[in-house]
């Protein structure tokens, strides 16, 4: 089966363990969320997978071949990383051309079209871009390289609400027309909860969850209704968060829901961000 496999990867920086015996795989044509707190090891993992840094132990395989210094295997992967490595004075249109020499399936026309939709001027150089437009520039390249596996490290960093929404829509457009494996690492968790099929959570350099979004969220539920009804219902339950809106309240609860709920209470699925905070605090 085609997939990216991470086998028993360990990485230390001095006395700090960044990755501790990580095992996981990314299957073909699925969208993954890679979640974790600041410093949990997400970026280190993505850098090891794409051979930008070496693991102390363990191996990464792409469709069965080890990635370590293997150009053929590495050509299947693209990482939009948190650092920007492009020459500062190079114009964006020239970087697009340059990218095509490394990634032959890079679609220049599609990239130019995305730049127009995001309002990014191709004649600007990298140095003159704001934080938000630096992310936009990098995510346009990632969406246009057409490798089978795309890893996005904080793709919406510094993007305004309208641009974030546009990115999510474009990602789904692209995925439905041209399926590939997409791994998204982000801190705006609730915004991607409808995009991702599978969730991997890293906590202190170890994987603590690796399952479908559906099965993770099946560990609890949300009840909403009038404040009085919700307050009375949640008494004695494992409540991990509450939101209020006017006289209405929503409570996020871990555990199995009863068959029958009191009249006037509405049930919906758990909030992914609330669950994440609970699991990683």
Q: Which residues contribute to the site for a second copy (CB under 8 A)? A: 13, 36-39, 43, 82, 119, 128, 130-133, 136, 154, 157-164, 187-189, 222, 224-225, 245-248, 250, 266-268, 273, 276-277, 280-281
Residue closer to a second copy (CB basis): 106 or 137: 137
Residue closer to a second copy (CB basis): 150 or 189: 189
Residue closer to a second copy (CB basis): 73 or 140: 140
In angstroms, give the least distance from the CB of 78 to a second copy.
Answer: 19
Residue closer to a second copy (CB basis): 181 or 250: 250
Residue closer to a second copy (CB basis): 178 or 227: 227
- HEC profile for the chain? CCEEEEEEEEEEECCEEEEEEEEEEEECCCEEEEEECCCCCHHHHHHHHCCCCCCCEEEEEECCEECCCCHHHHCCEEEECCCCCCCCCCEHHHHHHHHHHHCCCCCHHHHHHHHHHHCCCCCCEHHHCCHHHHHHHHHHHHHHCCCCEEEEECCCCCCCHHHHHHHHHHHHHHHHHCCCEEEEECCCHHHHCCCCCEEEEEECCEEEEEEEHHHHHCCEEEEEEEHHHHHHHHCCCEEEEEEEECCEEEEEEECCCCCCCCCCCEEECCCHHHHHHHHHC
Residue closer to a second copy (CB basis): 101 or 162: 162
In angstroms, give the least distance from the CB of 96 to a second copy.
Answer: 20
Distance of alpha carbon 81 from alpha carbon 135, whole angstroms = 10
Q: Give the position of tokens 């219902």.
A: 233
In angstroms, give the least distance from the CB of 22 to a second copy.
Answer: 17
In angstroms, give the least distance from the CB of 34 to a second copy.
Answer: 13
Residue closer to a second copy (CB basis): 31 or 159: 159
Residue closer to a second copy (CB basis): 37 or 52: 37
CA 103 remoteness from chain centre = 22
CA distances from 114 to 28, 126, 128, 180, 195 (A): 25, 17, 19, 18, 20
In angstroms, give the least distance from the CB of 44 to a second copy.
Answer: 9
**Across the strands, what pairs with 26?**
4
Distance of alpha carbon 131 from alpha carbon 248, whole angstroms = 38
């Amino acid at each position: 089966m085609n997939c990216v496999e991470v086998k028993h990867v360990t990485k230390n920086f001095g006395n700090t363990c960044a990755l501790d015996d990580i095992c996981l795989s990314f299957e073909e044509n699925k969208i993954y969320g890679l979640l974790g707190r600041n410093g949990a090891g997400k970026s280190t993992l993505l850098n090891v997978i794409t051979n930008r840094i070496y693991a102390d132990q363990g191996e990464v395989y792409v469709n069965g071949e080890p990635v370590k210094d293997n150009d053929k295997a590495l050509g299947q992967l693209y990482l939009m990383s948190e650092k920007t490595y492009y020459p500062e004075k190079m114009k964006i249109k020239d970087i697009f051309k340059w990218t095509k020499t490394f990634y032959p399936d890079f679609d220049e026309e599609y990239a130019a079209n995305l730049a127009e939709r995001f309002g990014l001027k191709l004649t600007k150089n990298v140095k003159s871009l704001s934080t938000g437009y630096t992310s936009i520039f990098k995510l346009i390249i990632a969406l246009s390289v057409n490798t089978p596996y795309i890893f996005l490290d904080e793709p919406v960093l510094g993007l305004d609400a309208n641009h974030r929404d546009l990115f999510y829509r474009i990602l789904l457009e692209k995925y439905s027309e041209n399926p590939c494996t997409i791994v998204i690492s982000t801190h705006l968790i609730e915004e991607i909860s409808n995009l991702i099929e599978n969730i991997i959570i890293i906590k202190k350099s170890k994987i603590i969850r690796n399952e479908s979004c559906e099965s993770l969220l099946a560990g609890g539920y949300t009840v909403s209704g009038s404040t009085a009804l919700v307050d009375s219902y949640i008494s004695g339950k494992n409540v991990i968060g509450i939101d209020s809106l006017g006289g209405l309240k929503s409570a996020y609860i871990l555990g199995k829901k009863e068959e029958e709920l009191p009249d006037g209470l509405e049930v919906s699925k758990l909030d992914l961000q609330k669950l994440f905070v609970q699991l990683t605090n």
